[in-house]
Every structure is written in structure tokens, then in C-alpha cells.
Structure 1
């Protein structure tokens, strides 16, 4: 990334800080395939303790962690239920069907979130053998395509009851769960008690260069180890990367509120612009907005790129801004100045 460039495409574009790199280089490592990398073991214990669950497993990506959870909970020909905006449906290359042979039944929720009552009406009667067997419910917090929206915890509890009453498993795609926890001031252990499996990403708002974890019971994690290997996720001296996750958890959680603050300021500026039709409600570090009808989003992005500011299209005429670790107040001022000057 160029020094002068302001990249707001995603919070995944961050690079390790000097302090994180130093911590990584001092890591004690071993062969993780033989369960002998002490830094990986430390990270797994740390995250499982944060969420109050029995065990955790380090993965190279959130997609692999999510797909492992799906395979844990389902058999080929089963069906999972998720929101139409869900990452496991939209952005994981059709992995649910390819890896696990399952189909996705989509709920038309609000900004990536649905109600327990909606879920009840989607579950197939297990006696109707000609229908796919409903096995799993997946929710995403925060919702990426929904603009960083945070689920209401009480609604998640109501969904859990529906799952329990219908013998369904319950997975949380927690790609940005720490953003939600900071924004809502919630205890991660509440989530650990609620879900059968949770994926937690370290390379988004927390600023690690790579890595996610899957959290669950010890029994499920032992099964997940085999599935991770099947997916090609066995790693060797990966403690150097696990150390980045440990550093991120120790130093980069509280600062997420700064990303949220800056996103809210950008959102306010966009609402005041005469070329913006709508801005989604902003709760965390994602700002999704829509240009007025007839305006060319590609031309708009080109205008910003001329000022060395990059963002991304989410499709359907929506544009996305994501604040992150490398986006500071000086950069924020530059963005606000450019937005004020744009005549589009």
C-alpha cells in the first residue's frame, strides 16, 4: 500500500505494527501438526478462555473455520439456514455445497439479521423425507453485507431456543465479533454459552496478518482437527502467526471504538452530501451508502482514487467504507475534505 494512499476497502488490508512484528519474531514455535507449537497452544487456550468454551483450534482463514463448522454439524443432503446476506452463502465460493454437500435456505432478514419467528417458519418437518433435513442455523455478527450491524443478544437467545426445540445446531460466524462486543459492551462468555461453534477472526479489526479460530467443545474440536487436515489446513511452525493473534488480543480490542468513531464521522459527512441517496445505520466500523439514482458508482470511485482514496462496491448500487487500524485522524480529515469538495 502506498504511503499516501488511504485504503478503506476493508479492515483486512492492515499490516502488522512494529510492536506486533517484534512480538512475532520472539515466538517459541514447534510443529503444530504434531500439536507441539507452544504459541499456537497458548493462543487457543487464550481465546477459549475469553469466550468460556472448552477448546479452540487455529485456522489459516475464517472461511476454512466456517466451512469446518458446517461439516461438523451436517451430513450430505442436509440443509442449513442463514440470512440472505450471510458470508457463508455469499462469499465462501459455494463451499457449503462443495465441501459438505448441503444446501442453504435463505431468510429475508434486515441488514443480515433475522428473527426467531422467521426461523421457525423455515425449518423442514423431519418426517417429510422428500425435503432436505434442516440441521444447522448460521448467524453472522457483525454483518458484513449489512453494514457492520450488531445482533440483539436477546434475539440470539430466542433463536437458540428454536434451535434447541428442533434439535438444530447453532453456529456463529464471528468474523467481526470483537467489533460487536465493543460496540454493545457485551461479555464474550455470553456467546460462548449460546453457540455450538464460533469462528473468530484475528485479521480484520484486530490487525493480525492472518488467522481465525474455531471454538467449541473438546469433542467437536478433536473432530475439527481431522476436517482441517482434510481441507489442507495443517500447519507447521505457525506460532509466529499465532503470536500476532495473541498480541492483537492483548492490544487491539479496546481501540476498535476508535474505528467505530471514525466510521460514524464519515457516515455523517456522507449523509450531508447531495449526491448520496442513503447511508445504512452505522454501529461499528463499516459504512455502506448508496449514490443517488443515475450516478455512476465506478466514476465516483475513480474520482476518489484521483485523491488516493480507495473504497469498494458491494453490488446493488451500494458502496462500502471500512475503517481500521491504519486509518488515523489525519487520514480522516483528508477524506472529509475530499468528500466536501466532490461535485458529482
Structure 2
């Protein structure tokens, strides 16, 4: 039997498991704060302005989570009964406990991945959008994109692909929301500014608590009028915070560290290559997510957990995500724990 790796558990379940380091904690402790619900918090506002500048939008709004950011966008963009389109297995379809339908009142339609893993093609949009029809027909209102696409294995949508999709959506009369929870990973992988991957989207959600390492928070960006309404909906959903600058300070530090995501991507490639050497079949990851096909995912995850390597089962395999708290040495230790395939 393969022995358990020496040392503490190696947590590959998600890039959300990172913990703030001393510098981030110090920034949080020293943050200038105010009541963001009443008259604003200066550190929170500084973070929102910084993210808006990075993404090339007019304004932005801090939200407690990416799921809330996506939900707020859908609540603002949709009227009850409107249909929205999204790539198959998108986070907003499968991983947000149905709030798109329950609270935003949207009817989802999944688009196939015809332009690459996690990426629909322009023709998929045009075929899906209803044109005319009786008053009781579904009304298409919104396209939701995801970059990187989590369930596809952290795959990226290039600027050219993204722009073709947003242009097609707008020509069809749709608004576009981009779930960019890991947009930072896509930008680093493609070596382009995040604004280039957000161009053409009406609204964008980016996460600070995944690869960037903040303990909590996402930012929802868009036009000035959209953000004004989004702030109202955030309050309706219980997402208004008081002295939020303590959390925003962590986000500002996190933004400075986007460039180091390249290290996570390298570690993911090392992990995938090591698994291939051990007989497992896995694709080379584009970013920091490794998807490993397995006949019995739950059993494989259980075996690895018994050997101090924490992973997540999927429908057809095991998901592993590298992050700032996983070192190159940890990757080697994790590989030693893997059982033979089959």
C-alpha cells in the first residue's frame, strides 16, 4: 500500500481554501473603514474603483460571493420568465443551487461546447434565440459566459472567441453577463489584460477569494446605472456590509498577486504530467484545474483522503485545483499518494 505523504494534508479541493498570510492580515487590521450601507466605506470604494479600472467598466460593486454577484446580475437583467443562455455545465446552471430560477426567475438553456471545452459557438446562440412567435413564447434576454470554465477543467475563452460570442449575442438582442470568477487565471494563461477578456460584456463578476487568496469577496462590474441597481439588489439579498473595508483590504492585496497564478498553472501541469507517467489519462490543463477521469470517483477520492490528499469527486472523475498554498514539493507528495488507475 502507498504510504500517506509525510506532512500535513495537501488540500486540492479548491483554490478557495487558501488562508490570508501575515501581510494580508496586517492590511485588514489597518484598513480605514466606514459604514458601507449608510454612507460608504473608503477602502471598499478603493477596491471597487480599482477593479473597474482593471476590467474597463464604469463602476463596480463588492459582493460577499461570486454566486451572489451572478445572481444580482441575473436579477437586474431578467424579468420573471425570461430565458437566459449559458454554456453547458456552467457554474450559474449547476453550482448555484437553482437561484437563477428561484430568485431571478430565469428559465435556463444550456448551450453545447462546439468551439472548444466549455465554449459555445456563435451559431449555437443564433439557433437558441427565439425570433418572433406568439405572446406566450419564451423571451430570450441574456447570455451568461464563464471564463475560465470550471466544469470543463479551467479552460479559457480567448479574446477573439469572447468577442464573437458577445457580438452575436448583442446582434440577437441579448445582454451579456460574464462569470469571470477565475478571469484572472484566463488573463495570465493567455498573457492578456483582464479588460481584453471582459470587453463586450455588459456586466462581469470576478472573484477575489479563489486563486488570488482573499478570505472572502467578489466584485460585480458594469455601467453606472447597473451598479446603482445592483447595490439595491445586494441589500435585498442581505449582502450589504458595514465596515467592509476590513474585507476589501484583503482584496486589494490579492489583486497585487494575480501574476503569481502562473505558478499555480505550472503546478497543475506538473500534477497532470506526473499522473500520466503513472498510467492515468488526463489532459494537459490550461490553468489550475486538473480533471482526472476515474471509474469510481468517490472511491478514488476516499483513497486519496486516507493518504492525506484532499480532492473532489465529479460525475466522471476527480477534480484537483492548485493554489498558492500548494508548493511544488506538495505536488510531488500528492503524486506519491495516487493509487494505480482502474
State the TM-score, normalizing by the size of structure 1: 0.94
Hey, what's the Cα distance between the residues in 1 that align with 2:102 and 2:7? 40
Stretches of structure 1 that go unaligned for 5 or more consecutive residues are none
Q: Which residue of 2 aligns with 1:303?
A: 303
Say if 1:139 and 1:172, in contact at 8 Å, map to a contact too: yes
The answer to which of 126-135 and 60-69 deviates more is 126-135
Q: Which residue of 2 aligns with 1:209?
A: 215
Deviation digits for residues 224-263 of structure 1, max 9, x if unmatched?
Answer: 011111111111011100000000001x211100000000
Hey, what's the Cα distance between the residues in 1 that align with 2:249 and 2:21? 13
Say if 1:126 and 1:133, in contact at 8 Å, map to a contact too: no
Q: Which residue of 2 aligns with 1:6?
A: 10
Q: Secondary structure at the match of 1:199?
A: strand
Q: Deviation at 1:3?
A: 6.8
Hey, what's the Cα distance between the residues in 1 that align with 2:284 and 2:174? 31
Q: Which residue of 1 aligns with 2:335?
A: 336
Aligned with 1:185 (options 166, 184, 191): 191
Equivalent runs, 1:194-233 vs 2, <5 Å: 194-233=200-239
Question: What's the RMSD between the two structures over aligned residues?
Answer: 1.6
Q: In the alignment, is residue 67 of structure 1 matched against residue 57 of structure 2?
A: no
Equivalent runs, 1:142-153 vs 2, <5 Å: 142-153=148-159
Say if 1:61 and 1:210, in contact at 8 Å, map to a contact too: yes
Stretches of structure 2 that go unaligned for 5 or more consecutive residues are 1-5
Say if 1:85 and 1:111, in contact at 8 Å, map to a contact too: no
Q: Secondary structure at the match of 1:32?
A: coil
Hey, what's the Cα distance between the residues in 2 that align with 1:12 and 1:305? 18
Q: In the alignment, is residue 55 of structure 1 matched against residue 65 of structure 2?
A: no
Q: Which residue of 2 aligns with 1:288?
A: 291
Q: In the alignment, is residue 234 of structure 1 matched against residue 240 of structure 2?
A: yes
Cα 1:290–1:343 change in 2 (3 A) is closer
The answer to which of 37-46 and 184-193 deviates more is 184-193
Q: Secondary structure at the match of 2:336?
A: helix
The answer to which of 182-191 and 197-206 deviates more is 182-191
Q: Secondary structure at the match of 2:103?
A: helix
Q: Which residue of 2 aligns with 1:279?
A: 282
Say if 1:147 and 1:281, in contact at 8 Å, map to a contact too: no
Q: In the alignment, is residue 259 of structure 1 matched against residue 264 of structure 2?
A: yes
Q: Which residue of 2 aligns with 1:314?
A: 314
Q: Secondary structure at the match of 1:255?
A: helix
Hey, what's the Cα distance between the residues in 2 that align with 1:200 and 1:63? 10
Deviation digits for residues 192-216 of structure 1, max 9, x if unmatched?
Answer: 4311000000000000000001000
Q: Which residue of 2 aligns with 1:20?
A: 24
Q: Which residue of 2 aligns with 1:95?
A: 99
Q: Which residue of 2 aligns with 1:125?
A: 131
Q: Which residue of 2 aligns with 1:135?
A: 141
Q: Deviation at 1:85?
A: 1.1
Q: Secondary structure at the match of 1:145?
A: coil
Hey, what's the Cα distance between the residues in 2 that align with 1:43 and 1:302? 40
Q: Which residue of 1 aligns with 2:3?
A: none
Q: Deviation at 1:92?
A: 0.6
Hey, what's the Cα distance between the residues in 2 that align with 1:245 and 1:94? 28
Query: Deviation above 6 Å: which 4+ runs of structure 1?
Result: none
Deviation digits for residues 153-187 of structure 1, max 9, x if unmatched?
Answer: 21211112212212210010001000000000112
Equivalent runs, 1:28-43 vs 2, <5 Å: 28-43=32-47
Cα 1:154–1:128 change in 2 (3 A) is farther
State the TM-score, normalizing by the size of structure 2: 0.94
Aligned length: 335
